[in-house]
C-alpha cells in the first residue's frame, strides 16, 4: 500500500513538473502566449499543498520553473552567450519562484490561507523589484512583460508600473490552488478566496477597458521610421567615407518620408562611427533637410570625441541648433567602452513636448519617468536589437509609454519599427529586414496623459517589500503548524 502511494505521489510530482514547464515555456520568453502565464505556477502550487515534505515541493517548483525558463537558451547561445550566462539568468529566477512557493506552503500548513494568498505574489514581486534596482538590465525579465498583448490588464501599469501586474498575475494561481485545496473541507472559505481574487482582477480589467475607451486629446503627429539591415555590409559603418556614404543613403530615405507627410523621422541606433571632425558635414546635410522640409530628424550614431565615445542621438529640428542625447543605460559587455549620458533631451514639437531616449534606456524606470514628469507626449527612440528578441525587447518600450503617459516611436535595426500610443496599442509595425531599406509611416497621438505611476513611481514595489517583511516576521517560531495539509496527501 505504501509503495502504491509513493508511486502515485511520484506520478503527481512529475506531472506537475511537466505542466509547470510547458505552461512557463509557452507563456513567457521571446514570443509569450499571455493566457498561459496565468496558469503556469498553478501545478507547482497544487503540489506544494499536498506534498509531505518541503523539499519535495521545492524540487517540483524549481525543476518545472527552470525548465520552462530555458525557452530562451537558443537565443542567448545564438548571440554568443556562454552557458554560464544561462545559469546566471535561470538560477535567480528559479530560486525566487521556489522561495515564493515554499512561503506559500508554510502559511497554508499553518491554516493561514489569506497570508498564503498574499505571500506567493508579494515574495515574487519584492524580489523582482529589488532585482530591477540592482541589475544592469533594469526591469528586463519581469513577468509583467508577458501580458503586453492583454491591453485591458496592461493599463494597470499606469497605476503601479509592472509590479502590480506581476502581483495579480501570481495572485490568481495562488487563489486557484487554495480554492481547490479547501473546496472539500472549507467550501465557504474557498469561494471567498476565489471571489475576492477574481473580483480584484475584474475591477482592474474594468478600469483598463474604460481607460482604453477614453478618447485621446490633441491632433495626431505623422511620424516616419527607417532602418536598413544589409546582409553584406558592416553592422556599424566605419568613420570617414563609409559613414558619410551610409548617412547620405539614409538622407535620401528621409526625403522620401517627408514626401509622405512625416513631421518627425527616427533612424536606428549606432548607424555609423562619426569622429568629431566629420560632424560638421553631417550636420550641414541633415540640418538642411530639417530646415527645408520643416521636419525633425533623430539620428543614432557612435560619436568619438577622443578619448571618449558616446552612443549618441543627434537631433535636427527646423531652424534650431543641433541637439544631442547620450544613451544613459549601456548594454554590457557590448558597450562597456562607451561613456554613459546623464541628461534628458526635450524638444518643442508641434503637438507639445517630445523626448529622446535610446534602446536599453527603455528597460529602466528612468529616464522614462522623468520624461513623463516633463509632460512629454512622444518619445523618439533609436534602437538596435538582436533579431530573435525583436518583439520581446522591442515591445518592452511600449510599457514605458503606458506607465508615463506618452506615445513611442522606436526604430530598430535587426528588429522592428514600432509606433505605439500611450495606452500601449501598436498603431503600426514592421520588421527591419526589407532591403535595402524598410520605411514606415503612421499617425500617433502626441499629447501627454497624466498617470499615477509617473508621479509616485515604484510605490507598489516598496509596498511589496514591506508586505514581505511583515509576512516573514509573522513566521517567527511559536506560530503553531498545521498537520491537516499533510494529511490530505493522496
Average pLDDT, the chain: 91
Lowest mean pLDDT among 38-52, 218-232, 252-266: 218-232
| pLDDT at 1 (0 to 100) | 47
Residue 225 in 3-state DSSP? Answer: strand
Give the single-character DSSP code of 355: E
Nearest to 351, CA basis, from 419, 416, 447: 447
- pLDDT higher than 80, residue 257: yes
pLDDT winner (highest mean) among 144-148, 217-221, 274-278:
144-148
Q: What is the dihedral of CA 139, 144, 148, 154, to 10 degrees?
A: -110
Helix (H) or strand (E) holding 159: helix 157-160
Domains located in the chain, CATH noted:
2-214+457-487 (no CATH), 220-448 (3.60.110.10)
- pLDDT higher than 70, residue 46: yes
| pLDDT at 457 (0 to 100) | 94
Question: In the structure, what pLDDT confidence band is assigned to residue 188 with cuts at 50, 70 and 90?
Answer: confident
pLDDT in tens, 387-432: 888 899 999 999 999 999 999 999 999 999 999 999 999 999 999 9
Cα–Cα dist 274/237, whole Å: 9
Cα–Cα dist 346/325, whole Å: 9
| pLDDT at 223 (0 to 100) | 97
Lowest mean pLDDT among 70-74, 85-89, 120-124, 315-319: 85-89
- pLDDT higher than 60, residue 482: no
Question: In the structure, what pLDDT confidence band is assigned to residue 297 with cuts at 50, 70 and 90?
Answer: very high
Looking at the chain, the whole-number percentage of residues with pLDDT higher than 90 is: 74
pLDDT in tens, 111-136: 899 999 999 999 999 999 999 999 99
Cα–Cα dist 322/99, whole Å: 52
- pLDDT higher than 70, residue 366: yes
- pLDDT higher than 50, residue 174: yes
Cα–Cα dist 63/195, whole Å: 31
Packing angle of the helix pair 42-50, 54-69 (nearest 10 deg): 170
Q: What is the dihedral of CA 240, 247, 338, 434, to 10 degrees?
A: -130
Enumerate residues 6+ apart whose C-beta is below 8 A from 445.
Answer: 216, 217, 218, 220, 221, 377, 407, 421, 422
End-to-end distance of the chain based on CA atoms, in angstroms?
12
Lowest mean pLDDT among 136-140, 173-177, 325-329: 136-140
Residue 171 in 3-state DSSP? Answer: helix
- pLDDT higher than 70, residue 5: no
Strands, DSSP E only, in 112-232?
220-227
Residue 92 in 3-state DSSP? Answer: helix
Lowest mean pLDDT among 69-78, 239-248, 388-397: 69-78
- pLDDT higher than 70, residue 59: yes
- pLDDT higher than 80, residue 32: yes
Question: In the structure, what pLDDT confidence band is assigned to residue 483 with cuts at 50, 70 and 90?
Answer: very low
| pLDDT at 489 (0 to 100) | 40
| pLDDT at 106 (0 to 100) | 93
Question: In the structure, what pLDDT confidence band is assigned to residue 2 with cuts at 50, 70 and 90?
Answer: low
Lowest mean pLDDT among 43-52, 67-76, 293-302, 481-490: 481-490
Question: In the structure, what pLDDT confidence band is assigned to residue 159 with cuts at 50, 70 and 90?
Answer: very high
Nearest to 439, CA basis, from 403, 411, 420: 411
- pLDDT higher than 50, residue 488: no
Cα–Cα dist 88/161, whole Å: 25
Residue with cell 505521489: 9
Cα–Cα dist 154/205, whole Å: 9
Amino acid at each position: 500500500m505504501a509503495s502504491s502511494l509513493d508511486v502515485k505521489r511520484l506520478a503527481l510530482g512529475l506531472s506537475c513538473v511537466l505542466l509547470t514547464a510547458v505552461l512557463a515555456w509557452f507563456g513567457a520568453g521571446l514570443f509569450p502566449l499571455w493566457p498561459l502565464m496565468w496558469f503556469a505556477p498553478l501545478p507547482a502550487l497544487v503540489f506544494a499543498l499536498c506534498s509531505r515534505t518541503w523539499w519535495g515541493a521545492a524540487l517540483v517548483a524549481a525543476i518545472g520553473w527552470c525548465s520552462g525558463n530555458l525557452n530562451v537558451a537558443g537565443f542567448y547561445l545564438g548571440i554568443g552567450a556562454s552557458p554560464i550566462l544561462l545559469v546566471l539568468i535561470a538560477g535567480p529566477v528559479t530560486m525566487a519562484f521556489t522561495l515564493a512557493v515554499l512561503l506559500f506552503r508554510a502559511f497554508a500548513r499553518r491554516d493561514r490561507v489569506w497570508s498564503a494568498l498574499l505571500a506567493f505574489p508579494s515574495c515574487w514581486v519584492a524580489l523582482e523589484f529589488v532585482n530591477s534596482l540592482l541589475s544592469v538590465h533594469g526591469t528586463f525579465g519581469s513577468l509583467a512583460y508577458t501580458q503586453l498583448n492583454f491591453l485591458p490588464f496592461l493599463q494597470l501599469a499606469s497605476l503601479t508600473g509592472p509590479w502590480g501586474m506581476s502581483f495579480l498575475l501570481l495572485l490568481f494561481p495562488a487563489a486557484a490552488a487554495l480554492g481547490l485545496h479547501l473546496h472539500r473541507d472549507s467550501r465557504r472559505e474557498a469561494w471567498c478566496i476565489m471571489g475576492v481574487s477574481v473580483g480584484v482582477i475584474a475591477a482592474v480589467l474594468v478600469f483598463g477597458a474604460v481607460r482604453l475607451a477614453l478618447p485621446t486629446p490633441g491632433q495626431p503627429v505623422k511620424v516616419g521610421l527607417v532602418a536598413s539591415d544589409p546582409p553584406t555590409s558592416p553592422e556599424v559603418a566605419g568613420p570617414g567615407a563609409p559613414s558619410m556614404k551610409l548617412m547620405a543613403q539614409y538622407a535620401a530615405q528621409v526625403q522620401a518620408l517627408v514626401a509622405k507627410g512625416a513631421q518627425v523621422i527616427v533612424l536606428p541606433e549606432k548607424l555609423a562611427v562619426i569622429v568629431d571632425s566629420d560632424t560638421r558635414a553631417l550636420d550641414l546635410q541633415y540640418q538642411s533637410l530639417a530646415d527645408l522640409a520643416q521636419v525633425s530628424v533623430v539620428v543614432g550614431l557612435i560619436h568619438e570625441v577622443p578619448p571618449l565615445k558616446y552612443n549618441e542621438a543627434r537631433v535636427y529640428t527646423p531652424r534650431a541648433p543641433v541637439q544631442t542625447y547620450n544613451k544613459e543605460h549601456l548594454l554590457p559587455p557590448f558597450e562597456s567602452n562607451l561613456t554613459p549620458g546623464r541628461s534628458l533631451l526635450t524638444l518643442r514639437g508641434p503637438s507639445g513636448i517630445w523626448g529622446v531616449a535610446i534602446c536599453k534606456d527603455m528597460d529602466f524606470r528612468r529616464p522614462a519617468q522623468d520624461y513623463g514628469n516633463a509632460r512629454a507626449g512622444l518619445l523618439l527612440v533609436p534602437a538596435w536589437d538582436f533579431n530573435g528578441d525583436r518583439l520581446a525587447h522591442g515591445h518592452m518600450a511600449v510599457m514605458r509609454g503606458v506607465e508615463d503617459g506618452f506615445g513611442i516611436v522606436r526604430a530598430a535595426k535587426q528588429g522592428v519599427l514600432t509606433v505605439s500610443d500611450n495606452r500601449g496599442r501598436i498603431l503600426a509595425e514592421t520588421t527591419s529586414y526589407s532591403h535595402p531599406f524598410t520605411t514606415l509611416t503612421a499617425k500617433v497621438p502626441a499629447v501627454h496623459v497624466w498617470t499615477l505611476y509617473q508621479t509616485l513611481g515604484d510605490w507598489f514595489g516598496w509596498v511589496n517589500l514591506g508586505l514581505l517583511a511583515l509576512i516573514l516576521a509573522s513566521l517567527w517560531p511559536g506560530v503553531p503548524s498545521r498537520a491537516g495539509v499533510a494529511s490530505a496527501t493522496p
